[in-house]
Amino acid sequence: ELCKGINGLDKIILREVRGSSAEVYLFGGQVTSWKNDHGEELLFLSSKAVFKPPKPIRGGIPICFPQFGSHGTLEQHGFARNKFWSIDTDPPPFPTNSSSKVFIDLILKPSDEDFKLWPHSYEFRLRVALGPGGDLMLTSRIRNTSTDGKPFTFTFAYHTYLSVSDISEVRVEGLETIDYLDNLRERERSTEQGDAITFEGEVDKVYVSTPTKIAILDHEKKRTFVLRKDGLPDAVVWNPWDRKAKAIPDLGDEDYKHMLCVEAAAVEKPITLKPGEEWKGRQELSAVPSSYCSGQ
């Protein structure tokens, strides 16, 4: 269902028969809402989010491509999150063994302007799908479509803002003992200690070569998010905390308490595609009552 969102921007609403839903803006190819079958919002959207292109939308799941962060020649997190994507009205079907029927395919290709910034021909196909249990599945396929024989290299992240009731009560499992690059210390490499990750201040880390499953436990809401990823070896964890939050104009001063970014990513080892080659990166999110997760 294509309709008008905030400021008249086009958005697509996906609805699964059991009641879960997701919203995707063509601007940024960005998921801004994901609700479970009780209508509860599972993604964080800033109370001060501005929907004014080309400013990226603060919240949901911005796509960082072709550059994650500020390491590189492009603007922070690349340009995909501030471009208008188009809908593929005749997308390739899902594999027959897949249970998911509710999906949309968005396409990003470089305009002449983009080409000046990053002189590479590509087609980026982003599939946003809802599973029967309300799972939110994002699949990116990026193909080098150049005819000049030139490879290109990129880094990538699904910059996922999860909605949490109180950041001080959140635990992340699956990243303990994993090496990380600390963005707050010029990407210095360290190893995570301890049982599970908890939050008491600003965090901005790229965990490298992580397990494919990460759990985010929200005790107050009695909810666990499970993030599964494929083709994306790394995982970014970010919370700006109070001081940094105040310096971000489109983030409310108290918003940091109710958000946590956990992002399937490819950062440490950039991906290179030769002409004709395609890369695929998937992130699957599910949200389950915590009691169902114990012992898993």
Question: Which residues are part of a known binding site for substrate?
Answer: 58, 76, 81
**HSE (CB half, 13 Å, CA atoms) of 79?**
17
Q: Which of 263, 268, 277, 278 is the catalytic position? A: 263
**265 class by beta-carbon count within 10 Å (0-12 exposed, 13-18 middle, 19+ buried):** buried
CB of 71 to ligand BG6, least distance (A): 10
Q: Which lies closer to ligand BG6 via its Cβ, residue 27 or residue 238?
A: 238
Instruction: Look up 192 and say whether it is catalytic.
Output: no
Residues in the chain: 296
Contact 25, 10 (CB under 8 A): yes
Q: Residue 78 interacts with ligand BG6 (CB under 6 A)?
A: no
Q: Which lies closer to ligand BG6 via its Cβ, residue 13 or residue 50?
A: 50
Among 11, 77, 125, 257, binds ligand BG6 (CB under 6 A): 77
CB of 153 to ligand BG6, least distance (A): 19
Q: Which lies closer to ligand BG6 via its Cβ, residue 131 or residue 240?
A: 240
CB of 267 to ligand BG6, least distance (A): 9
Q: Residue 183 interacts with ligand BG6 (CB under 6 A)?
A: yes
- For 271, the 3-state DSSP assignment is strand
Q: Residue 204 interacts with ligand BG6 (CB under 6 A)?
A: yes
CA pair distance 33, 42, nearest whole angstrom: 7
Q: Which lies closer to ligand BG6 via its Cβ, residue 199 or residue 238?
A: 238
Q: Which of 16, 77, 159, 268 is the catalytic position? A: 159
The secondary structure of residue 185, as a DSSP letter, is G
Q: Residue 238 interacts with ligand BG6 (CB under 6 A)?
A: yes
CB of 19 to ligand BG6, least distance (A): 31
Q: Which lies closer to ligand BG6 via its Cβ, residue 162 or residue 236?
A: 236
Among 1, 15, 18, 76, binds ligand BG6 (CB under 6 A): 76
| Amino acid residing at 263 | E
- For 156, the 3-state DSSP assignment is strand
Q: Which residues pair with 279 in a beta bridge?
A: 142
- For 100, the 3-state DSSP assignment is coil
- Nearest partner of 279 among 269, 288, 294, judged by Cα: 269
Instruction: Look up 120 and say whether it is catalytic.
Output: no
Among 69, 110, 174, 233, binds ligand BG6 (CB under 6 A): 69
204 CB contacts (<8 Å, ≥6 apart)? Answer: 182, 183, 184, 236, 237, 238, 240
Contact 240, 263 (CB under 8 A): no
Which stretches of the chain bind ligand BG6, using CB under 6 A? 69, 76-77, 159, 183, 204, 236, 238, 261
Active-site residue set? 159, 263
